[in-house]
Each structure stands twice: as C-alpha cells, then as structure tokens.
C-alpha cells in the first residue's frame, strides 16, 4: 500500500487533521490520500497541501492501511457501499462521525475489532483541539498509539468508554459554540459600558484565553481560583453575585444534559422505512 492514511471526506475536520499531521511532521504529503466528491475541494486540497486526492472512495482502502471517516453522519449509508468491499481485517478505521456508534459502524463496514471512534472538536483547526477516543478492547497498543499520535497533532487526547461519548459531545464537541456565544454577549455588554467593539473583542478574547491558560497550568481548582480573584467587597464579587442570582450553575447543568440527550437521539438507529417515529 502506497499511503499510510486515507480520508473519506475532505471537509473542515479532515483539513484540520491534514494541516496538523503535516505541521507536526507526523506524515509527509506523499503518505496521505483524500477521497472527496467535490472537484473544487479536491483542487484546493491538492494545491494547498500538495497531497493526492481521489474522486472514488474505494481508492481509500485500496491504497491506505488506515481509513479516516470524515463525512457527515448521514453520508455513511452512501460511502459504506463504496468501501466495504475493499476493507480487510488489517485495515484500521477511525470514525469522527458524531453520534454513530462503533456497533453501527461495524454493521455498515464490518471489522468491529478495528473500529475506533473519536470525537474531536473545532479548535483542532488551530492545533488546540481536544479529542476523546474510544478503542475496541482488542486493539493492540501499537494501533492505539498510532491513533493517539494522529490526534495529538491537533491538540490533546483523552480516552473514554463509548457510553460516555454523548457526554463528551455535549461538553467538548459542542463546547466551542457555548464559549463563542459567551464571547458574543460579553463583548456586547462591554460595548454598552462605552468600549469600542474592537477593544471589547480584544479584552474579552484575551481574558478567555488567559483564564483558560491559568486553568491549564495551575494545580488550583476552579473554585480556588474564583476565591483568589474575588476580593470580598470588590468588583469581581459584585459581578459574580449576578451569576449566582441567575443560577448559572443550573443553566449549565440543563445545557449539558440537553445537548447529551440530543446526541443520544441523533445516534439512534433510523426506524425501518414506513415505521412511525
Ligand atoms: N466540525 C466539527 O467541529 C466536528 C467536531 C466533531 C466531529 N465532527 C464530525 O466530523 C465529520 C465531518 O465534519 P466537517 O465539519 O468536517 O464536515 P464537512 O466540512 O461538511 O466535511 C465533509 C466533507 O465530505 C464531503 N463529502 C460529502 N459526501 C461525500 C461522499 N459521498 N464521499 C466523499 N466525500 C463526501 C463533503 O463534500 P460536500 O461539501 O461537497 O458535500 C465535505 O467536503 C462529521 O461527521 C461530524 O459529525 C465535526
């Protein structure tokens, strides 16, 4: 086989991984293949990364030992016909299809013992993602380390039981959306206090990034950090009182629970044609 890794689908997530793998010198352009339907997208990826692309998905398993599924979940039925026949027990298959269980993947493609499910997140685009990996119990350590290496090229990795992937989806998968919304309302509030929008955006962005960096580097729990920053009678304490009065903790519990529930709903197998839902 001439390639180490073939992507099925060359969209946003595939591009984030390709950029990370090349940036970190995990793979060379010659070791990558992208199977992608859109001719414009293929031309863009070829020019931008000097990698080979193909219009036919069957080329993926024919040419590479690891297959990386990066299409939208609803496209699985379409790609399964094209790649199933060419898959062998020696292929490793990595899927980032949100809500699609390893069981459903195995039904579609076979080889459950070589099926890895991963939930990455959007900051992978800037090399600061976090990816939650579920390995099949029988996958040897060498295969596991290869998968970790792939995802470490775009950030950090954690390993979880498959039953926790809906919780992961609700926390880190959807999490960037909550933070972007928080940034939006925080900036609007800063503008209302008289700051220009560009200055407000800079202050809010650097405050979020700086606070996240403190959380990463220090051993202190978030509770301890809150205590350290909120002097009794000071401005932070006055602001935090509003979050308590408005039950932000309750809001976040509901938010994560509802997102996890939605992930479970989306992952349910489709009922047979004609059956009422
Ligand atoms: N984006 C995230 O933050 C994120 C996070 C975690 C997991 N995921 C998962 O990652 C997967 C990809 O997401 P994405 O945001 O990268 O989506 P995307 O940008 O839409 O990428 C999917 C790509 O696959 C192409 N495609 C469609 N049908 C195809 C087919 N039959 N054969 C080959 N390629 C085909 C699409 O082309 P067209 O555009 O022409 O249809 C598109 O370029 C999804 O399953 C999602 O659940 C995404």
C-beta of residue 106 within 8 angstroms of C-beta of residue 138: no
Full pLDDT tens readout for the chain, 277 residues: 788 999 999 999 999 999 999 999 999 999 999 999 999 999 999 999 999 999 999 999 999 999 999 999 999 999 999 999 899 999 999 999 998 999 999 999 988 889 999 999 999 999 999 999 999 999 999 999 999 999 999 999 999 999 999 999 999 999 999 999 999 999 999 999 999 999 999 999 999 999 999 999 999 999 999 999 999 999 999 999 999 999 999 999 999 999 999 999 887 765 554 444 3
Closest C-alpha among 105, 100, 45, 95 to residue 66: 95
Distance, CA of 258 to CA of 261 (rounded, Å) = 5
- Determine if ligand 1 sits within 6 Å of the CB of residue 15: no
Choose the residue to mutate in 7, 8, 10, 12 for probing ligand 1, maximizing ligand atoms within 8 Å of C-beta: 12
CA of 175 from ligand 1 middle (Å) equals 19
Q: Which residues contact 24 (CB under 8 A, 6 or more apart)?
A: 152, 153
Among the atoms of ligand 1, which is closest to the Cα of residue 73? 45
Domains of the chain: 3-165 (3.40.50.720), 173-266 (1.10.3730.10)
**How far does the centroid of ligand 1 lie from the alpha carbon of residue 56, in Å?**
16
Q: Kindly provide the residue ranges of all beta strands, DSSP E only, lying in the chain, ordered along the sequence.
A: 3-8, 32-35, 52-54, 64-69, 92-95, 115-119, 129-134, 155-159
Q: Is the CB of 176 under 6 A from ligand 1?
A: no
The residue whose C-alpha atom lies closest to atom 25 belonging to ligand 1 is 9
Output the CA–CA distances (angstroms, integers) from residue 78 to 23, 29, 72, 147, in the order listed.
Answer: 32, 27, 11, 25
Residues 68, 13 contacting (CB under 8 angstroms): no
User: For ligand 1, is residue 96 a contact (CB within 6 Å)?
Assistant: yes
Q: State in Å: Cα 13 to ligand 1 middle.
A: 7
């Amino acid at each position: 086989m001439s390639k180490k890794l073939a992507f099925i689908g060359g969209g946003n997530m595939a591009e984030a991984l390709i950029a990370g793998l090349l940036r970190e010198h995990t793979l060379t352009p010659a070791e990558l293949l992208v199977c992608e339907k859109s001719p414009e997208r293929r031309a863009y990826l070829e020019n931008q990364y000097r990698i080979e692309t193909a219009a036919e998905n069957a080329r993926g398993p024919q040419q590479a030992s690891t297959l990386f599924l990066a299409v939208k979940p609803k496209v699985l039925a379409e790609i399964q016909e094209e790649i199933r026949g060419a898959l062998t027990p020696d292929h490793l298959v990595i899927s980032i299809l949100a809500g699609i269980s390893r069981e459903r993947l195995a039904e579609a493609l076979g080889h459950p013992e070589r099926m890895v499910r991963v939930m990455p997140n959007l900051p992978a685009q800037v090399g600061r993602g976090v990816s939650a990996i579920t390995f099949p119990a029988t996958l040897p350590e060498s295969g596991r380390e290869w998968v970790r290496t792939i995802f470490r090229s775009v950030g950090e990795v954690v390993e979880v039981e498959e039953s926790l992937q809906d919780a992961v989806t609700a926390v880190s998968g959807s999490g960037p959306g909550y933070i972007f919304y928080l940034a939006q309302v925080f900036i609007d509030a800063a503008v209302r206090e008289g700051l220009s929008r560009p200055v407000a955006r800079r202050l809010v962005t650097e405050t979020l990034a700086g606070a996240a960096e403190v959380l990463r580097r220090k051993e202190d729990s978030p509770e301890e950090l809150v205590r350290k920053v909120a002097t009794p009678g000071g401005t932070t304490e006055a602001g935090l009182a509003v979050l308590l009065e408005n039950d932000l903790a309750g809001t976040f519990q509901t938010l994560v629970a509802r997102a996890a529930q939605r992930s479970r709903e989306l992952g349910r197998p489709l009922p047979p044609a004609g059956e009422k839902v």
